[in-house]
Chain A
Amino acid sequence: MADTNNQVAEQNIIKPAIRVENLSKTYGTGSSAVQALKDASMQVQPGEVVGLLGPSGSGKTTLLQCLGAIIDPSGGRITLGGDLLFENGWQYSDRRTLRRDRIGFIFQRPYLIPFMNATENIAFLPMLQGKSNKQAYKRAEELLDTLDIADRAAARIEQLSGGEQQRVAIARALANRPPIILADEPTAPLDSHRAMSVMQLLHEMAAKSGTAIIVVTHDENIIPVFKRLYRLRDGVLHEEAGEGRGFDYLEN
């Protein structure tokens, strides 16, 4: 009876969106080997936004590329929404499909496809997933509406402002409803006001969609808004409590 109760209790616990255990990555072999990640462990809950900090060369990009199924970790374990992704090798043979369906990406610059308009940039992902054009465009319109740029739906990329482009990039990352989004310095090219507005947007989207977001940042202004932070130094990952300040703290 006690065992049954424990099982029920385990099932009721919300599974983390992503759980990383003892992840390591070594570049090269022998005397020239460089250990970029050393037994890194982290977990992020659905709807949570965490910051990932660290100086240049600390291993942030390596960690992001491991989590994004872009490069192969040397060891450790990655679980995504309860599904084992990596342990002694990738559990999914087609990592491109894995990225397309289950991981969203936001980059330092929006890197939107310049030959598609705003709607097409978003709708392209569901189309890649095999959704019909109608379903894909409907999803894109929903996201444009949620992100308050519906009036720019047909605009060409060069006609959008920097902030609008970053919103389209966020919408694209959310298009396939991934459990996790990896954001690589999404506020880097923005001034503090716009950076804060993007951070607010990411928190709102995470809360609405239940998507976990890991934000790599150097931006001192936005660090105080995180409730939880991970800091990387020489490949070693530490968890820290954040200040969790409001998005208007700079103005106050």
Chain B
Amino acid sequence: MISLAYRDISNSFGRYLLTGIGLGLLIGVTLTMAGVFRGMVDDGKALLRYADADIWVVQQNTLGPFAEPSSLPDNMYRGILAIDGVRQARNVAYLTLEVSHGDHSVRVMLEGTDTQQNLIPLTAGRPIMRSHYELVADERSGFKIGDRIPIHRHDYEVVGLTQGMRSPSGDPILFLPLKDAQEIQFLKDNDAVFRDRKQLETNPKLNPPNNPGLLDAVEQNLFSNHRVNTVLVQLMPGANPRQVADDIEKWLRLTAYPSDEMEEILIGQLIAMASKQIGLFLVILTIVSAAIVALTIYSMTQTKLKEIAVLKLIGTRNILISRMILLEAIGLGLIGFLTGKLAVTYWAPLFPKHIVMLPEDTFRALLITLVICILASIAGIRAALRIPPGSAIGG
């Protein structure tokens, strides 16, 4: 038996293929949106993964350090270490800024941490060994080993590279010594320091003639920084994270989140708005895709109404005609899906945002595409079945 769908597609393959490719680009956009959403979730989780902390300790009554600002004295970790069940505690400072190297400018998140522990997994180069002015950069920043990156007053040499280290906003992370990060975070420019010093000097209470050391002490305190954004805690085996977090909150008047609660803050709250927006875009795109497929299939049927009437008149069963329309719709969906998948594969790296395509998302997209095509073909099939065979006779 002659396959009506195969013959019809072969007869106008160019037009069919172009329609499929057009649909594929739309599917590609839909897949990209899903990939952006997955990327945001992955970015949030990546931070938690490499931080490898059981508890995040932040300023009291804040959702810090990412959802809200959080500032702690950098000696607070000593008190935390004294809490029962705590094995290790380390200070971390985060700040986001734009850094440039030559013509290359990129938004990054700086993470100041205790570099003695060498916790960062490297893909190239070496860990930070000096106490100042060295950094490890995520590959996505575009920096290379040996690059000297000017940040505020100092140049920092890239000594190592790492991969997949991103902030919850998707910015690549630069790791550097904690002291450097603290300095960058709070360091004032020369003019501001000069003006502040002038102001202090003219204040008789801070610069009394009989106590020349007071001004130095005030200035030293004012122009240095001893604060961090969070303390990451690792627990002893068997310790209950919620119990230890409660103890930290009770005794140190801080807020402590076990890692699952921090994940909820990062994924559930920080990107909740963005994910809702992307979710809505996905729904709209899916509806638009479905409408376009339905219209395309319907139009394809409308262009051959007379032929369908003749087919019915000469005795072709409805099932053969329906199968032709259904197979053409599924074929269109498959071409569209393949085009979309290929498009995403090639254009995803061009996006500044991290795009993650999970196999289950791809499979789900294929399934949704096929379901949409099958449903869309119903409109065409209904139109075809409504044509009376007698319409082939007469004018």
Contacts and interface: CB of A to CB of B under 8 A. Distances in A.
Nearest to B391: A70
Nearest to B317: A96
A134 B232 CA distance: 79
B311 interface: yes
B2 A127 contact: yes
Contacts of B2: 116, 120, 123-124, 127
A99 to B, nearest CB: 5
A64 B1 CA distance: 29
A6 to B, nearest CB: 39
Interface in B1-24: 1-2, 4, 7-8, 10-12
A70 B395 contact: no
Interface core residue of A99, A101, A172 (most chain B CB under 10 Å): A99
A97 B307 CA distance: 18
A222 B395 CA distance: 20
Given A64-B393, A107-B392, A127-B2, A99 B10 contact: no
A213 B124 CA distance: 87
A100 B310 CA distance: 11
Contacts of B394: 61, 108, 184
B313 interface: yes
A250 interface: no
A172 B392 CA distance: 15
A105 interface: yes
B164 interface: no
B315 interface: yes
B390 A70 contact: yes
A124 B3 CA distance: 10
A113 B312 contact: no
Given A64-B393, A65-B390, A71-B390, A115 B4 contact: yes
Contacts, number: 76
B393 A68 contact: yes
Interface string A89-119: 0000000110111000101100101111000
A113 B7 CA distance: 10
B306 interface: yes
Given A100-B314, A124-B2, A127-B2, A116 B393 contact: no
Nearest to B8: A115
A111 B392 contact: yes
B12 to A, nearest CB: 8
B393 A172 contact: no
Contacts of A202: none
A111 B310 contact: yes
Contacts of B7: 113, 115-116, 120
Contacts of A97: 315
B300 to A, nearest CB: 12
A99 B315 contact: yes
Contact of B395 (A99, A108, A127): A108
B123 interface: no
A133 interface: yes
Interface residues of B, number: 26
Contacts of A34: none
A181 B12 CA distance: 32
Contacts of B306: 111
A170 B137 CA distance: 78
Interface residues of A, number: 31
B105 interface: no
A217 B7 CA distance: 34
Interface in B204-222: none
A128 B393 contact: no
A133 B313 CA distance: 21
B194 to A, nearest CB: 84
A17 interface: no
A125 interface: yes
Interface string B299-321: 00000101100111111110000
B312 A133 contact: no
Given A100-B314, A115-B11, A128-B316, A105 B392 contact: yes
Nearest to B324: A115
A116 B8 CA distance: 8
B342 to A, nearest CB: 28
A113 B315 contact: no
Contacts of B313: 68, 70, 99, 105
A111 B307 contact: yes
Interface in B300-351: 304, 306-307, 310-317
B315 A100 contact: yes
A129 B314 CA distance: 10
A73 to B, nearest CB: 13
B306 to A, nearest CB: 6
Interface in B369-392: 388-390, 392
A123 B11 CA distance: 18
A113 B310 contact: yes
A105 B393 contact: yes
13 contacts: A64-B393, A96-B316, A96-B389, A100-B314, A105-B313, A107-B393, A111-B306, A111-B310, A114-B11, A124-B2, A128-B314, A128-B315, A184-B394
Given A115-B12, A127-B2, 4 more contacts: A65-B390, A70-B389, A96-B315, A115-B10
Interface of A: 61, 64-65, 68, 70-71, 96-97, 99-101, 105, 107-108, 111, 113-116, 120, 123-125, 127-129, 133, 156, 172, 182, 184
Interface of B: 1-2, 4, 7-8, 10-12, 304, 306-307, 310-317, 388-390, 392-395
